[in-house]
Amino acid sequence: MIVFNKLGKLLEMRNMAWKDLCNAGLSQNMPTRFSKNENISSDTINKVCEYLCVQPFEIMEWIPDAEWNAKEIEKQAIEAQIAELQAKLNQL
């Protein structure tokens, strides 16, 4: 799985928001696709690298699918626990 967590951290370090990537000539939905780690074309990655003056490895990384899936399962379990605790809190 290709993830763009590094891009999010880079934007934060530069006091930028995801929507600032539209200044690179991207469509309005593209920053959301980056933030959700969706499929991104190499042309779009090129535009972001040009805009930020970085190499691709500075904005993205590869995580093995098995590792990514395990993290997603753990995340969903934690979110379910939070929802359960929130429901209990609301009952008080």
Tens of pLDDT, residue by residue over 30-89, are 999 999 999 999 999 999 999 999 999 999 999 998 988 898 899 999 999 999 999 999
Q: Are 37 and 1 in contact (CB under 8 A)?
A: yes
pLDDT of residue 7: 96
Q: Are 24 and 59 in contact (CB under 8 A)?
A: no
Model's pTM, two decimal places? 0.74
Alpha helices in 5-64 (DSSP H): 5-13, 30-35, 42-52
pLDDT of residue 68: 86
Cα–Cα distance measured from residue 21 to residue 6, given in angstroms and rounded to the nearest whole number: 14
Q: Are 44 and 21 in contact (CB under 8 A)?
A: no
Q: Which of 62, 86, 66 lies closest to 74, judged by CA?
A: 66
Matching CATH number, 2-91, of 1.10.260, 1.10.357, 1.10.3470, 2.60.40? 1.10.260
Domain locations along the chain: 2-91
